[in-house]
Amino acid sequence: MSIDVEDSVNDFVKQHREGSVAFIVVDNPPVNALRAEVRAGLLDAFSAARDDKAVAAIVLMCAGRTFVAGADITEFGKPPMPPPLSEVIDTIEAMDKPTVAAVHGTALGGGLELALSCRYRVATPSAKLGLPEIKLGLMPGAGGTQRLPRLIGVEKALGMIISGDPVPAQSALESGLVDEVVEGDLGAAAAAFARKLVAEKRMREPVRDMTEKLAEMRSNPAKFDELAAAHLKRSRGLAAPAAAVDAVRSSFEASFEEGLKRERAKFLELLAGDQSKAQRHVFFAEREAAKVADLPKDAKPRQIKRAAVIGAGTMGGGIAMCFANAGIPVKIVEMSKEALDRGLATIAKNYRNTAARGGLTAEEVDRRIGLIEGELSLEAVSDADIVIEAVFEEMELKKRVFADLDRLAKNDAVLATNTSYLDVNAIAQATNRPGSVVGMHFFSPANVMKLLEVVRGAATAPDVLATAIDVGRRIGKAPAVVGVCHGFVGNRMLRVRGIEAERLLLEGALPQDVDGALTSFGFPMGPFAMGDLAGLDVGWRVRKAEGRRAEIADRLCEMGRFGQKTGKGFYVYEAGSRTPKPDPEVERLIVETSARLGVKREAISKEDILERLVYPMINEGARILEEKVAQRPGDIDVIWIYGYGWPVWRGGPMYYADQVGLAAISARLREFAQKTGDKTLEPAPLLAQLLALLSWTAAADEPHDRQLPAVTVSAGRASMTWSPLTTRGR
């Protein structure tokens, strides 16, 4: 069959010929994922180009905003559809005509593996190439662990596969991953590249046959072990990195075919594993969390070219860095020169530390610092498109600041508050433009933590909300839209966990037991080490404002033990060390307090501690859903993973509740309520209703829809989960 005019192989793949060059174009918006029809279309198109005598070379490229961004993740977990990607890749690699992959946007996962099956790759200057499977609890499964080391060397390949981070076109050129970075029209440049190959009768060997770049590790496998150990040190609890290391090791230890087989076996193991299922849930939940069901389609984000931040303390400085990192000029306003200088010095120190670790060049550091301007007058906000307030957590102060911003900021400026707990509606009412006020709750350190709780006030205008979400994405955050309540979603659930943690100390546990239960579960640190890091005085101020007492934590604060910043908190810290050490003085205080309060101390198992900390959080999550402070359970998962260190491979608290089962959780909660006398530990109405529905459906044995006061629920046949509340059931 000859390819002369533009024709569709199927709805997702098109082909056409310009002279002797055949173009095979994938067109599957939004990211050209390799769904079954795309694979089938590619197989047909490449087979046709192979057999068409008029075709001397083939260019593979994509329509739309990006090259293939990988396998279609929505197909995972479903019965595999033919043809397998490996068959497409083998067909392309076996071609006896030059094949050129023309990359724009992102060539990721199976998309990069597809490009690796071509003999040559060209890319636009802004293109990025990577194997991000590790972020889905997977590893490359279509030859990436065998072909990438052969093309760019084992060390670089291992780095790309374990980090999952894409590399820019220029570095890809330097490593040999791409052969040319082309300017202008990509299709034309790729065709010119292909014609030159034909004219010069050049045809490189397929990547699978390349071995030169394997030699170093073959002769010195100990070096690989060192590299692997360094990478695996940072992958606590995750299964995929070790599996990926083994597969990459096969690339220089075994034959290509044997390496492919080992890769495939490990890939399928991970694909069927709980960790990847959880991480795939998080992938889609993260994208849903920024969507607002009732946001009018025409609510367009406002243009944000300049920003201002009020307060250069712990948070203000980090927030300003986020804008500078995204190339947005930002003014940071303080109330005293001393405070301003301190804030700017911390910013500069943070950037220099990143540069020292090789994360930024000195020029880039200067460029970013150059985008941050210190100011001592609030007048400086007059040309800002968005202003983010990060002053002390005091309502009256924040109201005063917003009243001033109302006067000084330009009419269409977005006014955001970084408050951790306070009522955004009350802050908005301190202005004459409450529609322009929104909460943008960053997490410490603000330049590192990925989460941004976007707090929608009662009066927040749709385009202001859309702007906060858009700005969140532009500065590299995972925005999650929440409603107004005390502590919003994350801190509200954190508060519940904190209360249980304090109770566990009185009942028999020690700080290291409680923290140990959470770190074994996968958290980077437990509540008491985290309290010491953030400063126990922060929580103390909040409890005092609430008129609430935490017997042990408050006693420590009264003793001046604020945590790391005073060298003593729940733990003791040697000078210059951040390593928490149990302190007998704290243990004595805890035992005395139990006795003073008449609480009988007894041994508590790690499992019981974990349930005692996590189940009440899930229960509070149910209340948050009932009150529509969060739209979906997945939003709560995203908030806890990106804001509070919940291990991504456990999917988040609400996803985890699914795994454990709502019936078991409710039963334990009732026990906790009885034991503590705390009625708030009784299962939330939504939990009880979902369980009632379970027993009802089991009885009726018919799936059905039923209106519940807070949400609409459809019941599965097997077991009652949050999934009816979750998005689109992926």
Which of ligand NAD, ligand T1G, none lies near 392, with the C-beta cut-off 5 to 8 A by kind?
ligand NAD
Q: 309 vs 662, which CB is nearer to ligand NAD?
A: 309
Q: 314 vs 520, which CB is nearer to ligand NAD?
A: 314
Alpha-carbon torsion angle 590, 593, 598, 603, nearest 10: 0
Is there a contact between 42 and 49 (Cβ–Cβ < 8 Å)? Answer: no
Q: 142 vs 384, which CB is nearer to ligand T1G?
A: 142
Q: How far is CA 343 from CA 202, 331, 350, 367, in A?
A: 58, 12, 11, 18
Q: CB 155 → ligand NAD: shortest distance, Å? A: 38
The span of 132-140, 364-372, 564-572, 584-592 binding ligand T1G (CB under 6 A) equals 132-140
Alpha-carbon distance of 531 to 528, in angstroms, equals 5
Query: What are the residue ranges of helices labelled H in 71-206?
Result: 85-93, 110-117, 144-152, 154-163, 169-175, 186-199
Write the CB contacts of 600 (distance below 8 Å, at least 6 apart in sequence): 507, 594
Q: CB 727 → ligand T1G: shortest distance, Å? A: 9
Q: Is residue 36 a contact point for ligand T1G (CB under 6 A)?
A: no
Count of CB atoms within 10 A of residue 662's CB? 22
Q: Is residue 132 a contact point for ligand T1G (CB under 6 A)?
A: yes
Which residue's beta carbon is nearest to the bound ligand NAD?
Answer: 313
Q: 135 vs 302, which CB is nearer to ligand T1G?
A: 135
Q: State whether the Cα torsion 132-134-136-142 is positive or negative.
A: positive
Which of ligand NAD, ligand T1G, none lies near 434, with the C-beta cut-off 5 to 8 A by kind?
none
> Is 133 known to be catalytic?
yes
β 386-389/307-310 pair status:
parallel
Q: 313 vs 516, which CB is nearer to ligand NAD?
A: 313
Is there a contact between 635 and 288 (Cβ–Cβ < 8 Å)? Answer: yes
Query: Which one among 110, 318, 621, 652 touches ligand T1G, defined by CB under 6 A?
Result: 110
Q: Is residue 361 a contact point for ligand T1G (CB under 6 A)?
A: no
Count of CB atoms within 10 A of residue 265's CB? 11
Binding site for ligand NAD (CB under 6 A): 310-316, 333-335, 339, 390-393, 397, 401, 418-420, 442-444, 534
My answer on whether omega of the bond before 221 falls inside 30° of 0, hence cis, is no
Residue of 93, 133, 286, 288 marked active site: 133
Q: Is residue 144 a contact point for ligand T1G (CB under 6 A)?
A: yes
Place of tokens 């849903």: 288
Q: 129 vs 371, which CB is nearer to ligand T1G?
A: 129
Which of ligand T1G, ligand NAD, none lies near 313, with the C-beta cut-off 5 to 8 A by kind?
ligand NAD
Binding mask 47-76 for ligand T1G (x = CB under 6 A): -------------------x--xxxxxx--
Q: Is residue 263 a contact point for ligand T1G (CB under 6 A)?
A: no
Write the CB contacts of 467 (distance below 8 Å, at least 6 apart in sequence): 301, 302, 304, 386, 414, 438
Q: CB 224 → ligand T1G: shortest distance, Å? A: 21
Query: Which one among 106, 175, 436, 447 touches ligand T1G, defined by CB under 6 A?
Result: 106
Q: Is residue 634 a contact point for ligand T1G (CB under 6 A)?
A: no
Structure tokens at 77: 């977990």
32 CB-contact burial (10 Å; exposed 0-12 / middle 13-18 / buried 19+): buried
Q: Is residue 479 a contact point for ligand T1G (CB under 6 A)?
A: no
> Is 113 known to be catalytic?
yes
Mapping DSSP onto H, E and C, the string for 333-350 reads: ECCCHHHHHHHHHHHHHH
List, as one string, the DSSP characters of 583-605: -HHHHHHHHHHHHHHTPPP----
Which of ligand T1G, ligand NAD, none lies near 629, with the C-beta cut-off 5 to 8 A by kind?
none
Which of ligand T1G, ligand NAD, none lies near 333, with the C-beta cut-off 5 to 8 A by kind?
ligand NAD
Q: CB 632 → ligand NAD: shortest distance, Å? A: 23
Alpha-carbon distance of 133 to 70, in angstroms, equals 9
Residue of 113, 263, 502, 507 marked active site: 113
Alpha-carbon distance of 131 to 140, in angstroms, equals 7
Q: 265 vs 397, which CB is nearer to ligand NAD?
A: 397
Q: Is residue 472 a contact point for ligand T1G (CB under 6 A)?
A: no
Alpha-carbon distance of 593 to 599, in angstroms, equals 8
Q: 252 vs 646, which CB is nearer to ligand NAD?
A: 646
Alpha-carbon distance of 603 to 624, in angstroms, equals 33
Tell me the catalytic residues: 113, 133
Q: Using CB under 6 A as the criterion, which residues of the chain lie in contact with ligand T1G when the complex forms?
A: 30-31, 33, 66, 69-74, 85, 106, 108-110, 113, 132-133, 136, 138, 140-142, 144, 284, 287
